[in-house]
């Protein structure tokens, strides 16, 4: 499974899309956890 974009030499991407998705998930999940908790805390500001 590969990314479909090409570089300036017209070569197809050799980086597996699954690996890119894994890397983004690895950093995205903690960030989402932090965002969720912060939004929950900020809710008190609006009477939540």
Partner 1 sequence: MALPGFLQRERIVARPGFNRWLIPPAALAVHLCIGQAYATSVYKASLVTHFDTTLTAIGIIFSIAIVMLGLSAALFGTWVDRNGPRAAMFTSAVFWVSGFLVGGLGIETRQLWLVYLGYGVIGGIGLGIGYISPVSTLIKWFPDRPGLATGMAIMGFGGGALVASPLSRQLMSWYDPAYDPSVAGTTPNGDAVAALFFTLAALYAVFMMFGAFIVRVPADDWKPAGFDPASVKKKALVTTENVSANNAIKTPQFWLLWTVLFCNVTAGIGILEQAAPMIQDFFRTGETSTVAAATAAGFVGLLSLFNMAGRFAWSTTSDFIGRKPIYMVYLGVGIILYVILALFGSSATWVFVLTAAIIISFYGGGFATVPAYLRDLFGTYQVGAIHGRLLTAWAAAGVAGPLIVNGVLDTQGTPGQLVAANYRPALFIMVGLLAVGFVANLLIKPVAEKFWEPKAVTPATARADAERSPVR
Binding-site ranges for partner 1 (CB under 8 A): 3, 5-9, 11-15, 19-20, 23-24, 26-27, 30-31, 33-35, 37-39, 41-46, 48
Cβ 45 to partner 1 shortest distance, Å: 4
Cβ 23 to partner 1 shortest distance, Å: 4
Cβ 40 to partner 1 shortest distance, Å: 8
Distance CA 25, CA 32 (A): 10
Distance CA 22, CA 15 (A): 12
Task: Check residue 2 and give left, alpha or beta (phi > 0: left; psi -120 to 50: alpha).
Answer: beta
């Amino acid at each position: 499974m590969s990314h479909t974009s090409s570089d300036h030499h017209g070569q197809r991407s050799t980086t597996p899309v699954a690996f890119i998705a894994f890397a983004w998930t690895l950093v995205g999940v903690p960030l989402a956890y932090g965002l969720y908790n912060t939004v929950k805390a900020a809710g008190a500001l609006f009477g939540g």
